[in-house]
Structure 1
Amino acid sequence: MSDARLREEICRYGRSLFERGLTPGSSGNISLRLEDGGWLVTPTNASLGFLDPARISRLDAEGRLLSGDKPTKEIPLHTALYDTRSSARAIVHLHSTHAVALTMLPEIDPRAALPPMTPYYLMRAGETALVPYYRPGDPAVADAIRGLAGKYSSVLLANHGPVVAGDSLEAAVFATEELEETAKLYLLLRNLNPRFLSPEQVADLVKAFDLDLPSHHDHDHD
């Protein structure tokens, strides 16, 4: 896909996420990793609903700005996830309401922020890690992401929001949306003793769809 088409794709998905209230104001950012190791990434202080393709930041493989506006301050976050997930080609970071709310609950397991509620949550987002709070743009968040050793494609930042990697921008967006909807389900059903998928049902999904879930392997994956 050409550079121009990739820029248009970022704008199209960004606008869709914004118009559905998943990333208010100038929150959230999107990046795409290019064949030469460089990136396209949304600029700092830019609304995902009103992106200009020509102003999207173009970075080289070392993270130096080549063209476009100044990039998002969350570059360390994106870098760490790309470095530890070799299959990642796109990353979406939002401040979506239900996912943020989930991170503030006391019972959340950092190794599995959500239980196995639906098959599509596991198929799209996998299992989700929760990392502690860091101020936005803090380079220390990169160490927290690297500490997950590439096991998770979806991560929640405490009091901040989700960060989701995919092998395409479409996959990253779909996984982010599934994560948000599953967080919403969890909040709706909290303290109501809902019926989650059984271990046997999860194992069947893992086998049928070749899912790479941290709880279902004994060694690190990219």
Structure 2
Amino acid sequence: MNDILNTSLMHPREQVALVMTRIYRRGLTTTSGGNISVMDANGDIWISPSAVDKGSLQPSDIVCIRKDGTIEGLHKPSSEFPFHRAIYAIRPDIKAIIHAHPPALVSFSIARTIPDTNILSQARQVCGAIGYAEYELPGSEALGAKIASEFTRGYKAVIMENHGTVVGGDDLMDAFQRFETLEFSARTILYGKAVGTPAYLKDSDVDAFEAQLPEPLPEMKVAEYPSDEREKRSEICKIVHRACTQGLMFSSYGTISVRWRDNDFLITPTDVSRWDLKPEDIVQIRNGEREPGKMPSRTTYLHQEIYRKHPEINSIIITQSPYLMAFSVTGASFNVRTIPESWIFLQDVHTLDFGTQFAGRPEIPDLVSKNNPAVLIKNDCVIVTGNKLLQTFDYLEVAEFSAKSLVMCAPIGAMVPISNEQVEELRKAFLKG
């Protein structure tokens, strides 16, 4: 199934099958676990079936429960349908529901606690407050009542005691972004605990971040789309989709830009799911103006300043990847002197305080360079730069692999880095000139 489609134009059965496929491929549910539903404009509910392989789900497998209770489809509807029906009944603003057992959120579920989404700057905005539903028999009306009771309080995401999680949304893409972001927040906390003590943002920190974002760039009168510009759009989309598949980006977060000509560049938009990004969504920035009718990433100002100061930098990736964020939220030393490749590509990665990414601050543009291609921002992101986009993405992968190795090393013993003498040897052999 092609999972790079305009989901707003898809039939509900196609949406359910597509999102379930994404969730399964990302390892966020099992062959038999989880269920997804969408309520359409007629009040009919389209839901994933019971006892059908989630790894090969097709649109034809999706079951429809009509508003009058009539069931249509090749299979039985999910056994968890009662709580889907209960949520829709009490929350008319919710039009899509995802329930699954993603590993990190199950960890919180069985520890009977809730992940604090103030671990990352945008997670609170995407997830909102998180509810908690006490245990009841799966598939029972009692479970439906417990979950629905939490949704009456205004929550759109609920941890289910010893079970998993359920999230709702204005549509299925909204629900998927909330689900993916909540699981990512949970993983960040858990991985962070392996290397240090996670620190959380105050609400005032998140509000300050939102308040400092600059006004959108003015619109250009006419955009031009020569062949070299269109080629870069396709290149950006391919890397974004690869990053989503590999867990290096997710629906609600991740920005890529590529220098086009001089200090003009192309950048990913805001408020478009990264999974569904298309070349026509990319925003052209030319002479300090944005392409008409489009809203570029809210970090455009930072990309502008980096390109202006560094003619050797031609691409930038800003994202959140789970193991790098473990170091971002703890402030633990991200020592890339693990294997030769990591140090050669990244050299020493600095961690800057939350707030240094704010508009007008010079620290990041002053710090990144050919010899310092990556920087971590506490409780926010990793920024990676490079000469070509594929090289920049490679740097990101190397950084994430290095961070993963350090997290996995923590239970074994202290990391023993490459020595200063060995680093100097690498410098002379690989960084000449």
Q: TM-score range by the shorter chain?
A: 0.7 to 0.9
19-28 vs 120-129, which moves further: 120-129
TM value normalised by structure 1: 0.82
Post-superposition Cα deviations, 1:93-132, rounded to whole Å, max 9, x if no partner, equal 11110000111225x2xxx542521132212211211211
1:67 to 44, 58, 73: 73
Partner SS, residue 24 of structure 1: coil
Gaps of 5+ in 2: 1-6, 213-433
Question: How far has the Cα of 1:19 moved from its partner?
Answer: 1.0
> Once the two structures are superposed, what CA deviation does each residue of 1:142-201 show, in whole Å capped at 9, x if it has no partner?
221232214100011112111110111111111101111111112223494422111313
The answer to whether 1:177 aligns with 2:180 is yes
Secondary structure in structure 1 of the residue aligned to 2:131: strand
Of 201, 220, 226, which residue of structure 2 is paired with 1:197?
201
Q: Take 2:8 and 2:185, find their aligned partners in 1: how far apart are those partners?
A: 34
Cα 1:78–1:185 change in 2 (3 A) is same
Match of 1:124 in 2: 126
- The superposition leaves residues 36-82 of structure 1 with CA deviations (integer Å, 9 ceiling, x where unpaired) of 11111000112332112122111112443133321001011111222
Structure-2 change in CA distance of 1:115 and 1:172 (3 Å): closer
Q: Percent identity?
A: 28
Could you say if the C-alpha distance between residues 150 and 75 of structure 1 is closer, same or farther in structure 2, counting changes exceeding 3 Å?
A: farther
2:131 and 2:157 in contact (8 A); partners too: yes
Q: Which amino acid aligns with 2:185?
A: T
Q: Which has the higher contact order (CA 8 A, sep 6+)?
A: 1
How far apart, CA to CA, are the structure 1 residues paired with 2:10 and 2:115?
A: 37
In 2, Cα distance between equivalents of 1:153 and 1:98: 18
SS of 1:104 mapped into structure 2: helix
Within a 5 Å distance, the mapping from 1:49-198 to structure 2 comes to 49-105=55-111, 108=113, 113-148=115-150, 149-190=152-193, 192-198=196-202
How far apart, CA to CA, are the structure 2 residues paired with 1:152 and 1:65? Answer: 29
**Residue type of the partner of 2:82?**
P
Relative to the length of structure 2, the TM-score reads: 0.44
Offset of residue 88 of structure 1: 0.9
5+ residue gaps, structure 1, are: 209-222
Secondary structure, counterpart of 2:60 in structure 1: helix
Q: 1:202 to 1:81 in 2, by over 3 A?
A: farther
The residue matched to 2:67 in structure 1 has which SS?
coil
Q: Is the 8 A contact 2:117 2:124 kept in 1?
A: no
Which range is displaced more, 63-72 or 159-168?
A: 63-72
RMSD: 2.6
User: 2:200 is matched by which residue type in structure 1?
Assistant: F
- What's the counterpart of residue 216 of structure 1? none
- Match of 2:119, SS state, is coil
Q: Report if aligned partners of 1:85, 1:153 keep a CA contact under 8 Å in 2.
A: no
* Cα distance change, pair 151–204 in 1 and its aligned pair in 2 (3 A): farther
Q: Could you tell me whether the CA contact under 8 Å between 1:18 and 1:48 is conserved in 2?
A: yes
Task: Note if contact 2:122-2:206 (Cα within 8 Å) is conserved in structure 1.
Answer: no
Q: Is the 8 A contact 2:97 2:169 kept in 1?
A: yes
Amino acid at match of 1:124: V
Distance in 1 between residues matched to 2:75 and 2:22, nearest whole Å:
22
CA spacing shift, 1:102–1:70, aligned 2, 3 Å: same
- 1:45–1:104: structure 2 CA closer, same or farther, 3 Å change rule? same
Contact 1:15 1:48 in 2 (8 A): yes
Matched, 1:19 2:25: yes
The verdict on how the C-alpha distance between 1:12 and 1:115 changes in structure 2, with shifts beyond 3 A counting, is closer
Partner of 1:219: none
CA distance in 1 between counterparts of 2:44 and 2:9 reads: 12
Query: 1:38 and 2:44 equivalent?
Result: yes
